[in-house]
């Protein structure tokens, strides 16, 4: 995998050396510069899940809407496998977008937002069995907190050992686009710093709370050191020009394997 600290290479050449005549060389600019981004958009569905657990009647309506049953989740992952999809990591995606690295046929990325504990119990075993990597974006203020719905630090480390990478979903899950710039930057910077201290590795991947962002927030995310970031804008084509504005396909309680197939055009 490429070093995430690299930047796309800019090739420079003397215009005169590329011109067959002196007159053309005199009219040409002194330097030729290739476009900063050379990689065309790629087809890469990024699936967005929240909770994986039983759909019981005691759940609030919004929680139920964002919860996929374990049976449905397993059926969706098995459908992907049967139909030739290959789950890819964030780093594979970065290398494909920024350096043109080759992805496997029919790539798909699997992501979870918020850091719910049920991902460890109901999603991780299925993904591990099928050899499918994924990413869990966590809210750092809720890790090991009093609410037992959220993952603890030992559980996050266990998830990573099972092949689910941990990314940032900020400190408090505030709408970054509604915050003063200094506060938004702290949400981005501090969540990344805390994750790196506990996980003992670089954390470069982000999901915006509620999927809400702006040009100013994107600039802050880049300043805070992120190289890929997820929105909730629907779509399956990702642009190398917008690595901090990746689109996702949201999977809900009513999606099922049939809905997933329809969302992916299958």
User: Are 135 and 66 found together in one domain?
Assistant: yes
Whether the CB-CB separation of 207 and 221 falls below 8 Å is answered with no
Looking at the predicted structure, is the pLDDT value of residue 48 above 90?
yes
Whether 12 has a pLDDT exceeding 50, the answer reads no
Based on the fold, state whether residues 216 and 193 are members of the same structural domain.
yes
For residues 63-90, average pLDDT: 97
What is the per-residue pLDDT for 39? 81
Same domain, 112 and 243: yes
**Same domain flag for 25 and 85:** no
Q: Residue 36's CB: how many other CB atoms inside 10 A?
A: 10
114: helix, strand or coil? strand
Task: Tell whether 195 and 221 lie within a shared domain.
Answer: yes
Q: Assess whether pLDDT exceeds 60 at residue 3.
A: no
Statement to judge: residues 7 and 89 lie in one domain? no
Q: Are 248 and 225 in contact (CB under 8 A)?
A: no
In this structure, the answer to whether residues 31 and 57 fall within a common structural domain is no
pLDDT tens for 95-151 read 999 889 999 999 999 999 999 999 999 999 999 999 999 999 999 999 998 888 999
Tell me what percent of the chain is helix, strand and coil, each rounded to the nearest 5. 40, 20, 40
Q: Where are the beta strands (DSSP E) in the chain?
A: 12-14, 31-33, 42-43, 46-49, 51-52, 67-68, 86-87, 107-114, 134-138, 164-168, 205-207, 228-230, 237-238, 249-250
Query: Does 47 share its domain with 26?
Result: no
Cα 107 to its chain centre, rounded Å, is 13
Q: Give the separation between CA 71 and CA 54, rounded to whole angstroms.
A: 9
258 is in which domain, residue-wise? 38-263
Per-residue pLDDT for 196 more than 70?
yes
Task: Indicate whether 124 and 229 sit together in one domain.
Answer: yes
**What CA–CA distance (Å, rounded) separates 57 from 137?**
27
How confident is the model at residue 147, as a pLDDT? 82
User: Which residue pairs, CB below 8 angstroms and at least 24 apart, start in 120-124?
Assistant: 120/151, 120/155, 120/158, 120/159, 121/53, 122/52, 122/53, 122/70, 122/73, 123/49, 123/52, 123/70, 123/73, 123/164, 124/159, 124/162, 124/163, 124/164
| Structural domains in the chain (count) | 2
Q: How far apart are CA 72 and CA 86, in angstroms?
A: 19
Q: Are residues 107 and 192 in the same domain?
A: yes
Q: Which whole number is the average pLDDT over 214-231?
A: 97
Q: Is the model's pLDDT at 164 over the cut of 50? A: yes
Question: What CATH number did the domain enclosing 125 receive?
Answer: 3.20.20.370
User: Does 32 share its domain with 53?
Assistant: no
Q: Angle formed by the axes of helices 256-263 and 70-82, to 10°?
A: 40
Least confident of 56-60, 97-101, 130-134, 255-259: 56-60
Q: What's the whole-number mean pLDDT along residues 244-263? A: 97
Q: Which two tokens stand for residue 31?
A: 């330097």
Shared domain check, 30 and 54: no
């Amino acid at each position: 995998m490429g070093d995430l600290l690299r930047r796309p290479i800019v090739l420079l050449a003397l215009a005169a050396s590329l011109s067959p005549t002196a007159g053309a060389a005199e009219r040409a600019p002194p330097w030729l510069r290739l476009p900063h981004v050379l990689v065309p958009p790629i087809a890469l569905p990024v699936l967005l899940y929240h909770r994986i657990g039983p759909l019981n009647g005691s759940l609030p309506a919004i929680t139920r809407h964002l919860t996929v049953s374990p049976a449905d989740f397993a059926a969706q992952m098995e459908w992907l496998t049967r139909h030739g999809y290959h789950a890819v990591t964030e780093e594979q995606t970065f290398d494909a977008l920024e350096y043109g690295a080759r992805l496997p046929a029919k790539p798909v990325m699997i992501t979870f937002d918020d850091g719910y504990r049920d991902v460890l119990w109901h999603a991780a075993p299925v993904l591990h069995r099928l050899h499918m990597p994924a990413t869990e974006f966590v809210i750092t203020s809720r890790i090991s907190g009093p609410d037992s719905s959220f993952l603890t630090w030992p559980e996050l480390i266990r998830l990573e050992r099972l092949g689910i990478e941990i990314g940032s979903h900020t400190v408090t899950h505030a709408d970054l686009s509604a915050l003063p710039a200094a506060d938004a930057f702290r949400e981005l910077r501090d969540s990344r710093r805390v994750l790196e201290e506990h996980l003992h590795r670089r954390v470069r991947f982000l999901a915006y709370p509620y999927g809400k962002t702006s040009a100013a927030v994107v600039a802050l995310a880049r300043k805070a050191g992120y190289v890929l970031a997820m929105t909730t804008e629907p779509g399956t084509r990702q642009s190398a020009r917008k690595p901090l504005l990746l689109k996702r396909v949201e999977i809900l309680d009513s999606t099922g394997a049939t809905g997933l197939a329809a969302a992916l055009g299958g």
